[in-house]
């Protein structure tokens, strides 16, 4: 019998494409999604682009009863459900923290009673902050956060502590996090929670810092 996959946030852009790929590989796919107004509009209808073979459960990732029901028979979880957007996270702090952090906590508690083989959580490139740079003499360097005064002056250059103007380079996965928004903080929380949980409960856990 084929494996049964749950995708939280499975009716969203990434989730629906992931579902398509998993179905092609022979998996059975269930999606949990709240069909939020911001993404799906006021009608909260099943989106036309969601593969008809996907079993859709409409519910809130923060609801323990919904989560326990949704996990029945599941082998692998892709945890994509989250409120997204860096700027919006700075004034909808309660909503972002509740959905992203509490929602992950509810999932993990439910997994204690319904263990799975693997947990994959969607983290974000936003946790890297300004990324990685080189100094004019070629050394790798982290950038300093630009001050309000600098931005008001129209000076957009990123500098290091010595004041050198830095040159952006591709950011490797091992760059230290630089959490500059509530969204980034929540995503870092989500990945650490899942990795710590996986180690404690013997579940293979992976965090993907999506770009």
Q: Where would I find the H helices in the chain?
A: 13-24, 37-40, 64-70, 86-89, 93-96, 103-113, 148-152, 182-201
Tell me: pLDDT of 28 over 90.
yes
* Half-sphere exposure of residue 125: CA atoms within 13 angstroms, side-chain side: 8
Nearest CA to 173 out of 137, 136, 207, 134 is that of 207
Within 8 A by CB and 6+ apart from 98, the residues are 62
Helix (H, G, I), strand (E, B) or coil at 38: helix
Express each pLDDT in 79-127 by its tens digit.
999 999 899 999 999 999 999 999 999 999 999 999 999 999 999 999 9
**Residues 66 and 59: beta-carbon distance below 8 Å:** yes
CATH architecture of 4-128+177-210: 3-Layer(aba) Sandwich (3.40)
- The domains of the chain are located at 4-128+177-210, 132-169
Tokens representing residue 181 in the block: 């928004």
Under DSSP, the state recorded for 158 is -
Tell me: pLDDT of 31 over 90.
yes
Per-residue confidence band for 160, with pLDDT thresholds at 50, 70 and 90: confident
């Amino acid at each position: 019998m084929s494996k049964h996959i749950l995708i939280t946030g499975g009716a969203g852009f990434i989730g629906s494409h992931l579902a398509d790929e998993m179905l092609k590989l022979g998996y059975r796919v269930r999606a949990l999604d709240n069909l939020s107004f911001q993404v799906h509009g006021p009608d909260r209808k099943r989106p036309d682009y969601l593969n008809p073979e996907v079993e859709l459960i409409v519910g809130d990732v923060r609801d323990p009863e919904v989560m326990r029901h949704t996990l029945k028979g599941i082998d692998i979880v892709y945890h994509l459900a989250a409120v997204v957007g860096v700027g919006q996270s700075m004034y909808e702090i309660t909503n972002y923290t509740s959905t992203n952090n509490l929602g992950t906590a509810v999932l993990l508690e439910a997994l204690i009673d319904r263990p799975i083989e693997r947990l994959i959580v969607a983290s974000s490139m936003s946790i890297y902050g300004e990324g990685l740079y080189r100094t004019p003499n070629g050394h790798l360097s982290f950038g300093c956060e630009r001050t309000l005064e600098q931005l008001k002056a129209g000076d957009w250059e990123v500098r290091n502590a010595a004041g050198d103007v830095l040159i952006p380079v591709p950011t490797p996965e091992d760059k230290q996090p630089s959490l500059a928004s509530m969204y980034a903080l929540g995503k870092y929380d989500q990945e650490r929670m899942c990795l710590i949980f996986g180690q404690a409960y013997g579940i293979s856990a992976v965090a993907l810092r999506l770009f």
